[in-house]
Structure 1
Amino acid sequence: MLYFLKEAATLESLSEDIFDFNSLEDLENWLR
């Protein structure tokens, strides 16, 4: 479980560096 949380936190910080989404709505629009 801790490993999963660590990976999720890493992915989150990584995506924040690569993408600059202002909100979940922006993310959803980008994924379309």
Structure 2
Amino acid sequence: MTLVHTLGMKSGFVNMSITDRCGWIKRNLRKPSG
């Protein structure tokens, strides 16, 4: 189940447009450091 979920996330990430990918990266970089 975990492997299938991971593969789905990877394929979704690859299919994302450049703009969506940049936004996703910025969202991850904004995680609180607490």
TM-score (norm 2): 0.47
Higher Cα radius of gyration: 2
TM-score (norm 1): 0.50
Greater RCO between the two (CA within 8 Å, min separation 6)? 2
